[in-house]
Amino acid sequence: MLVSNHARPTLEDVAARAGVSRATASRVLNASPRVSPEALEAVNAAVTALGYQPNRAARALVTRRTGAVAVLFSEPEPKIFDDPHFARLIRAGARALADMDVQMVLMLVHSPDDQARAHRFLAGGHVDGALVFAPHRNDELVSIVKKLPLPVVYAGKPWGSLRGMHLVDNDNEGGAVLATEHLKSLGRKKIVHVSGPLDELSAIDRLNGFRAALSLDDKAVARVTEDGGFTREGGRKAMSALLARVPALDAVFVASDLMAAGALETLAEAGRRVPQDVAVVGFDDHVAIAEHTSPPLTSVRQDSDEQVKVMVEHLMKLLRDETVKKKQQMLPTVLVPRESA
């Protein structure tokens, strides 16, 4: 019997079969230009014949590259699985990284324990880079990641100085302007806002867009805005508060679809018809929510899939040591009209 060896073939085997040295075989695999056409073909043939797969560990050992990327979320877990937004981000990350043949290591980092673990893990060199979703003010995760010599791309603007940071953000402010202008164009006069938690810059940007579109001063903003914490329940409560404070309101721009769903419930309970009495615009355009509220929700679309894809591409460039033209990118948002406004 020749080779009934059940073990996985190594580069040595490939080289032997192709009649070249290990070095040449390696060069073929890594697309080095310094290799003759014949050798190239012979090696490729051997690779397919043997079903050869490079040993990741051996490669990582010498290249000091792991072929893995960490995806870090600092959000508390309940939020992560109540808000479909996160499922979408995770899914997009899995897809985009798989397309690059990179392993995705998902970490949920909230408790101090998690943070310590994350620090150990990232400092341990177990990944080549990281995608970080940490929107909150003074987020410990950001501090941890910042001081590590690790390429990182952030989703949205992390709090604090943005100097030298790589990030991909959505045009939150622009989207908010879109939403508010839309309500104005419907002839609404008393427009209020359910904001996200104001320790997140995306929430602040949306608030700023709302404010700018209506040219409100500080006092006016305070009166017509209520924090809904980016949760459904928060949306309900914020809407109640606004109804109490501004009974004559005829439109509301809600900074997330999940909150908008809560707000719609409150409006229904209060007997306000949507959109006749109150026009409602959400943010996210999360179809699983927006298409199932009653009435279906007009919303601002931010393309999370695209955002994550761009983040991944950006990170890959960093890993390849390419110079990136723009460290900070902004993705456009568009208004998706449905029936609520």
Q: Which residues bind a second copy (CB under 8 A)?
A: 8, 51, 53, 55-58, 60-61, 66, 68, 77, 80-82, 84, 86-88, 90-91, 94-95, 98, 103-108, 114, 117, 120, 123-126, 232, 265, 287-288, 292, 294
Residue 36 sits in the site that holds DNA (CB under 7 A): yes
Q: How far is the CB of 96 from a second copy (least distance, A)?
A: 11
Candidate ranges 30-38, 102-110, 201-209, 216-224; the one touching DNA (CB under 7 A):
30-38
Q: Are 278 and 340 in contact (CB under 8 A)?
A: no
Q: How far is the CB of 69 from DNA (least distance, A)?
A: 18
* Of 16, 29, 319, 336, the one binding DNA by CB under 7 A: 29
Tokens 């805005």 belong to residue: 225
SS (H, E, C) 186-247: CCCCCEEEEECCCCEHHHHHHHHHHHHHHCCCHHHHHHHEEECCCCHHHHHHHHHHHHHHCC
Q: How far is the CB of 265 from a second copy (least distance, A)?
A: 8
Q: How far is the CB of 20 from a second copy (least distance, A)?
A: 22
Tell which positions 57-76 bind DNA, by CB under 7 A.
Answer: 58-59, 61-63
Residue 294 sits in the site that holds DNA (CB under 7 A): no
Q: Which of a second copy, DNA, none lies near 27, with the C-beta cut-off 5 to 8 A by kind? A: DNA
Residue 46 sits in the site that holds DNA (CB under 7 A): no
Q: Which of a second copy, DNA, none lies near 39, with the C-beta cut-off 5 to 8 A by kind? A: DNA
Please identify, using beta-carbon distances, which residue of 61 and 98 lies nearer to DNA.
61
* Of 1, 2, 7, 31, the one binding DNA by CB under 7 A: 7
Indicate the length of the chain as a whole number.
341
Question: Max CA-CA distance within the chain?
Answer: 89
Q: What six digits make up the tokens of 58?
A: 């051996």
Residue 55 sits in the site that holds DNA (CB under 7 A): yes
Q: What six digits make up the tokens of 298?
A: 């007009």
Please identify, using beta-carbon distances, which residue of 6 and 320 lies nearer to a second copy.
6
Residue 21 sits in the site that holds DNA (CB under 7 A): yes
* Of 44, 54, 208, 328, the one binding DNA by CB under 7 A: 54
Q: Which of a second copy, DNA, none lies near 12, with the C-beta cut-off 5 to 8 A by kind? A: DNA
Candidate ranges 55-63, 73-81, 240-248, 250-258; the one touching DNA (CB under 7 A):
55-63
Q: Are 195 and 239 in contact (CB under 8 A)?
A: no
The C-alpha atoms of residue 214 and residue 143 are separated, in whole angstroms, by 36
Please identify, using beta-carbon distances, which residue of 120 and 223 lies nearer to a second copy.
120
Q: What six digits make up the tokens of 218?
A: 């500080």
* Of 17, 35, 183, 256, the one binding DNA by CB under 7 A: 35
Which residues are CB-contacts of 186 (< 8 A; sequence separation ≥ 6)?
A: 251, 275, 279, 341
Q: How far is the CB of 190 from a second copy (least distance, A)?
A: 28
- Contacting positions for DNA (CB under 7 A): 7-8, 10-12, 19-24, 26-27, 29-30, 33-36, 38-39, 52, 54-55, 58-59, 61-63
